[in-house]
Amino acid sequence: MTSRGSVLGKEKFEILRQILRKQRYHLIGTHSAVKKCNWLHKALAYNIPCYKQKFYGIKTHRCVQMTPAVIYCTLRCVYCWRLQPEDVNISWNQLRPPKWDDPETIVEGSIHEQRRILSGYKDWVLRGKLDKKTFEEAWNPNQAAISLSGEPTLYPYLSDLIAEYKRRGFTTFLVTNGTIPKALEKLNEKPTQLYITLPAYNKETFLRVNRPLIKDAWQRLLDSLDLMPSMSTRTVIRLTLVKGLNMKEPKKYAKLIERANPMFIEPKGYVHVGFSQKRLSRENMPTHVEIRRFAEELAEELGYYIADESPSSRVVLLSREKKVRKIGQ
């Protein structure tokens, strides 16, 4: 396999790594990373959990936000807050997969880096600012959000990665853009919860908003939606809604969502942060009231229930069932 250094050039690749470090990514091996989630700090400092704890029951302070494909993706979404190589004048076409690290190395590395992130909170425990039990729970994470950056289904040993986390007592949330359905078909070990992001209601909008790097990306996404009903795990369709771009046509979204028949739907508002500020304006950021209104229209079309919401995250939870079964119940 061609090494990443010979394709991109060591100097340019090191530029990407330096930028990622400045953004406080903790790099693992050649292509993976962990990053401190803002909600981890809020959970430890103020006992304020993220919406995933509120909706599904996982523990925010025990969650590792990680990726096995930190700068590798199949899309160039205009709303993405993460670093894209073009943001630093590097062509996406220059990027090639490296020699992939093994799952055990990545899992071990993710736990190690999470503990490095948490090490600064030890002083809080000594000064009585943080409950010792809560810190000890955080020090021993049990949830991996495989969603930080890039497209995780590009990692060829994803099933083994999920299995390695499971072996250590972790639950796993896998978030994918759905453009590699064959990778989902090959998942012998399923994540605790599978998310597919549905970012558009038709092909034209998808091409404009998500700017795919691979052929037939829209059809591949549709194939993943069709695959979702057969996945023997908890399933979620996430809508990343950008005002003025893809936040329209709820009936057309509903037709696509019907193909996936997910347990849950998360209409979520775009936030004007990070590198997305180079491509969009604050006017593209919907309010929670607007997200709630859109969610209500979707729920009516699909016959789903509005189960919960989190105004601070501009997200609403729709559920097929009236009562949401929490993780571990």
Query: What was the pLDDT predicted at 10?
Result: 64
The answer to whether residue 267 is domain-embedded is yes
Give dist(CA 294, CA 282) in Å, integer.
Answer: 19
Which residues, in sequence order, are CB contacts of 34 under 8 Å at separation 6+?
A: 25, 26, 28, 64, 65, 66, 109, 110, 113, 114, 117, 148
Three-class DSSP category at 26: strand
Residue 240 lies in a domain: yes
CATH code: domain of residue 39: 3.20.20.70
Asked whether residue 224 is assigned to any structural domain, the reply reads: yes
Whole-number Å distance between alpha carbons of 198 and 183 = 17
What confidence score (pLDDT) does residue 271 get? 86
Give the model's pLDDT for residue 7.
47
Ranges in the chain, pLDDT < 50:
1-7
Residue 116 falls inside a structural domain: yes
**Is 326 within the bounds of a domain?**
no
Query: Could you report the per-residue pLDDT of 91-141, keeping only the tens digit for each?
Result: 665 566 568 999 999 999 999 999 999 999 999 999 999 999 999 999 999
Residue 85 belongs to a domain: yes
- Tell me, what amino acid is at 94? Q
Cα-atom radius of gyration of the chain, to the nearest Å?
19
Q: Domain of 203?
A: 4-319
- Report pTM: 0.92
Confidence (pLDDT) at 66: 97
For residue 310, give the DSSP letter: E
pLDDT of residue 329: 61
Structure confidence at residue 4 (pLDDT)? 40
Domain count, the chain: 1
The number of angstroms, rounded, from the C-alpha of 304 to the middle of its chain's C-alpha atoms is 23
Tokens of 13: 């690749």
User: Is residue 328, in this structure, part of any structural domain at all?
Assistant: no
- Whether 238 is in a domain gets the answer yes
The two counts, helices (H) then strands (E), for the chain are 13, 10
**Euclidean distance between CA atoms 232 and 16, whole angstroms:** 37
